[in-house]
Structure 1
Amino acid sequence: MTESATDPRRVSPTSRRPARPTALIDRLIEAVLRTRWVVRAPIPLYRAGLGWIFGDRLVMIEHLGRVSHDRRFVVVEVVDREPNAIRVASGFGTRAQWYRNLQANGVAYLSTGGARHVRAAVRLLDRDESEARLAAYAARHPRAWRHLKAAMDDAAGGDAYIPIVEFVPPPRSGR
């Protein structure tokens, strides 16, 4: 045997390793996330007051268009929740329209579970904070994170930066 045949670093370009088993799942997730009617399907349910069907894992964000100032809606997964804050990830990075709208005007109303149309302050977390929150999410949901991260990386054409947005509802009045 020659050295190149036994050296694992020297693999012929014609001999391909089999695709990793999850590659198909990752491509399917990416395709679903890019299918407009699928990702928008929960919006009418939230608007009809049926957001409780999705539990606390999803939230509908109502925001205003940057130019038109028309009401816009998006449903995203909650990656972190505290009693006074909800954090979501922009899976398509800073180019997602809803992210850009929040960046431009900071107006948001949330509907989740039993709460509907609650005004919330918007804070765009910096890269370090976003990565720390995503690391915590990955620890809590390793299987989901593995597939979602791979799908987002594929969509971005490389290692995707996934920013986190924090929403804080106003304090309740003590009446």
Structure 2
Amino acid sequence: MEVVKNVGPPTGLKRTLFRLPLVLYRWGFGWLFGRRIMALHHIGRVSGKRRHVVLEVVSYDADDGSYVVASGWGPGAAWYRNVLHTPDVIIQVGRRTLPVTAVPLSKDEGADVLVRYASRHRMAAKYLLPRLMGYSVDGSEADYRAVGELIPFVRFVPRT
């Protein structure tokens, strides 16, 4: 595994395309994404304002109802820093709106999550996601494990 380039958050047209699912969630069409895309509603750590972002769900645990996402732009992503600061947030997945608590995963847990994701979504894992995030992988478990240790992951656990 090698780092290809330092990829930052999208700008311009790419940013608009990445945020399109958020518009669909606002219009009540979140069900179109099933459990693959979720909307995260959180509070800005500096501004205190409500913020919204859409994220790909990397893993879902039916036993406890938790969802895992990756911070593809790294630990500097605003949403990631915001949920570390204020972990009690709201997510929308499909037609469900849930109060959850954000729990960061360890590097080992993140590696395990990415390896499982790659086995379920081979094309996205090998060609699309690593390139968007700035990594080149050969498709081996060792490569996915190495990338998974570099990417911050967060588990959103339903509050009771």
Preserved CA contact (<8 Å) 2:68 2:155: yes
The unaligned stretches of length 5 or more in structure 2 are 1-6, 136-145
Give the alignment partner of residue 120 of structure 1, picking from 91, 94, 100. Answer: 100
* Greater percentage in strand: 2
Matched, 1:163 2:152: yes
User: In the TM superposition, what are the counterparts of 1:49-60 in structure 2 within 5 Å?
Assistant: 49-60=28-39
Q: Could you tell me how far apart the structure 2 residues matched to 1:58 and 1:130 are?
A: 18
Aligned residues: 139
Q: 1:54 to 1:91 in 2, by over 3 A?
A: same
Matched, 1:46 2:25: yes
| Cα displacement (A) at 1:44 | 2.0
1:116-156 CA distance string (max 9 Å, x none): 2x2101101011111111111111111100121132125xx
Q: Could you tell me how far apart the structure 2 residues matched to 1:115 and 1:33 are?
A: 27
Which structure has the higher relative contact order (CA within 8 Å, separation 6+)?
2
Identity, in percent, stands at 38
Q: Could you tell me how far apart the structure 2 residues matched to 1:43 and 1:150 are?
A: 23
SS in 1 for 2:131: helix
User: In the TM superposition, what are the counterparts of 1:34-113 in structure 2 within 5 Å?
Assistant: 34=11, 35-83=14-62, 84-113=65-94
Equivalent position amino acid for 1:133 in 2: V
When the two chains are superposed, the root-mean-square deviation of aligned CA atoms in Å is: 2.3
Query: Which is greater in Rg?
Result: 1
Q: 1:32 to 1:64 in 2, by over 3 A?
A: closer
TM-score by length of 2: 0.78
Q: 1:101 to 1:31 in 2, by over 3 A?
A: closer
Q: Could you tell me how far apart the structure 2 residues matched to 1:39 and 1:31 are?
A: 13
TM-score by length of 1: 0.72
Q: 1:32 to 1:121 in 2, by over 3 A?
A: closer
Give the alignment partner of residue 133 of structure 1, picking from 109, 113, 134. Answer: 113
